[in-house]
């Protein structure tokens, strides 16, 4: 009789006392709902005297009439910058100091906003364009932003993805310490097509999709709830054991991928040994002596 063995997930851990800086890239369908979750987290952290949590909302779009009812805006806000509207409203409601950048995210802009080395930087991507994801992808590799939480959806399903690096070599030895994970594959390492400008089928943006019935009215709120729990795990609990969650509203099901040697190795086209063993860092001296 064979025994079924299930690999236990390994937590990705953040230092307990280190400040966190979160940049929300995109304040539309998913982003406006995620903004509310982030503000609630910032309020809780402040009330519990936790390590500082700084928030920045980034979006160059203006509120349009077609956004009302699906995104968290009102008719009085039509024509105003989405990022500024959300920051002002949540600051007033909760006494926060959320910064707003009413501009489209570029790798250069994200580099300018990058946190200091003693601050944990988290980029939350709520964009529906390849150009937006390319900006985050590049910033993750060339700045002090440490984590990327990507939130994307189609008609009635979507995925939340968490990663730290787009370089497969950086995943070598990610679980070599045994009890913790030190690196996770970026969303674009798991799914390279996210950087592709030419999708197989043309799609409208989220607002148009909702207007013509091509997208569920509830999908953005559901996606934001999942993303909010990821952020709660990172900001409050300071550890997480999941790196991907798929949500299907039609069947009302959710499936998550735990952080294991197999899941990390598969994303980086590596072996389990590559992930669980420290890479060779020593070189032999002349004469053959170590």
Predicted confidence at residue 109, as pLDDT, reads 97
pLDDT digits (tens, 9 = 90+) for 249-290: 999 999 999 999 999 999 999 999 999 998 875 333 334 444
Residue 107 lies in a domain: yes
Assess contact for 206 and 127: CB atoms under 8 A. no
In terms of Cβ atoms closer than 10 Å to its own Cβ (0-12, 13-18, 19+), residue 246 is: middle
**E strand or H helix at 222, and its extent?**
helix 219-232
Residue 150, token pair as written in the block: 């990507």
Assess contact for 207 and 71: CB atoms under 8 A. yes
Residue 252 lies in a domain: no
pLDDT digits (tens, 9 = 90+) for 129-153: 999 999 999 999 899 999 999 999 9
Angle between helices 29-47 and 219-232 (to 10 degrees): 30
pLDDT digits (tens, 9 = 90+) for 177-219: 879 999 999 999 999 999 998 554 544 455 555 544 568 999 9
Residue 233 lies in a domain: yes
pLDDT digits (tens, 9 = 90+) for 73-86: 999 999 999 999 99
Residue 140 lies in a domain: yes
Q: What total of structural domains would you count in the chain?
A: 1
Report strand pairing: 242-248 vs 157-163.
Answer: antiparallel
pTM of the model: 0.90
Q: What is the CATH number of the domain that holds 223?
A: 3.40.50.720
Residue 97 lies in a domain: yes
**3-class DSSP state for residue 84?**
helix
Residue 253 lies in a domain: no
* Residue span of the structural domain in which 81 resides: 19-169+185-239
């Amino acid at each position: 009789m064979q025994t079924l063995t299930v690999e236990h997930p390994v937590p990705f851990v953040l230092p307990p006392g280190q400040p966190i800086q979160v940049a929300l890239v995109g304040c539309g369908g998913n982003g406006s709902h995620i903004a509310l979750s982030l503000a609630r987290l910032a309020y809780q952290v402040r009330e519990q005297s936790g390590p500082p949590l700084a928030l920045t909302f980034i979006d160059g779009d203006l509120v349009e009439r077609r956004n009302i009812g699906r995104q968290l805006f009102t008719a009085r806000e039509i024509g105003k910058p989405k990022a500024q509207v959300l920051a002002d409203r949540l600051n007033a409601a909760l006494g926060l100091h959320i910064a707003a950048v009413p501009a489209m995210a570029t790798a250069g802009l994200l580099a300018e906003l990058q946190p200091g080395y003693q601050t944990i930087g988290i980029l939350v991507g709520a964009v529906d364009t390849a150009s937006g994801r390319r900006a985050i992808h590049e910033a993750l590799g060339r700045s002090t932003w440490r984590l990327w939480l990507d939130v994307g959806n189609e008609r009635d399903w979507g995925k939340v993805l968490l990663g730290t690096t787009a370089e497969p070599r950086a995943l070598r030895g990610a679980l070599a310490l045994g009890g913790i994970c030190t690196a996770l594959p970026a969303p674009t390492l798991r799914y390279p097509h996210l950087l592709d400008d030419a999708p197989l089928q043309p799609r409208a943006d989220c607002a148009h999709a909702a207007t013509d019935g091509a997208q569920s009215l509830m999908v953005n709120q559901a996606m934001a709830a999942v993303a909010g729990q990821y952020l709660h795990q990172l900001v409050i609990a300071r550890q997480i054991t999941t790196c991907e969650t798929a949500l299907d509203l039609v069947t009302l099901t959710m499936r998550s991928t735990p952080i294991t040697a197999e899941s990390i190795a598969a994303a980086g086209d590596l072996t389990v040994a590559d992930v669980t063993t420290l890479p060779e860092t020593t070189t032999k001296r002349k004469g053959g002596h170590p």
